[in-house]
Amino acid sequence: MRSLDILLIAIVSLLSVVAVSASVDKEFDIKPLTTIQTVELKGDHGHCTFSYQASGGTNERWMMSLEENDDGTVYCAIGRPNPPSYLLFSHFSATLVPLSGKSKKKSFTANIMDNLGSILIKDQYDIKGNEVFKTNNFAGNLALLELHLN
């Protein structure tokens, strides 16, 4: 299954469960560079940040989407709309934090998928607080990150 299909299924599934009160999207290019780059997206209830370093290939168009639901949950999806990605990621981290006083929900979860649409096994990433980041076992393939504050 293509990562775009997975991203669309995830968003549609989320929308069918709860009403979305706000959604913000941002397109950005990931370029193969030697320095860590950061992309941010803020909404009324949450702040999503994605930091990365990639090599190989050429620039790729990626998208970040932040959804805030009537029940207080916040969801951030970061992925390539036209998978697969031909970049090799040497670094990634992503955070999703509630804005002060806007969200009482604190539980953070993350799903990370590779180019085949497979969820990465747990030894390739770690979660501390509201941040997910790569471990030394990370294979470098990244197509979609889903972050949730419940």
Residues 8-22: pLDDT tens digits?
445 444 444 445 578
Check whether the bond before 83 is cis (ω within 30° of 0).
Answer: no
Which amino acid type is present at position 133? F
Mean pLDDT along residues 88-111: 84
| Banded pLDDT at 3 (limits 50, 70, 90) | very low
Question: What mean pLDDT, rounded, does the chain reach?
Answer: 86
Q: What is the DSSP letter of 122?
A: G
Residue 102 pLDDT exceeds 90: no
Whether the Cβ atoms of residue 48 and residue 149 lie closer than 8 Å to each other = no
Residue 141 pLDDT exceeds 60: yes
For the chain, the domains span 3-149
pLDDT digits (tens, 9 = 90+) for 17-75: 445 578 999 999 999 988 999 999 999 889 999 999 999 878 999 999 999 888 888 99
Cα–Cα distances (Å) from 123 to 86, 100, 133, in that order, read 22, 32, 11
| Banded pLDDT at 112 (limits 50, 70, 90) | very high
pTM: 0.83
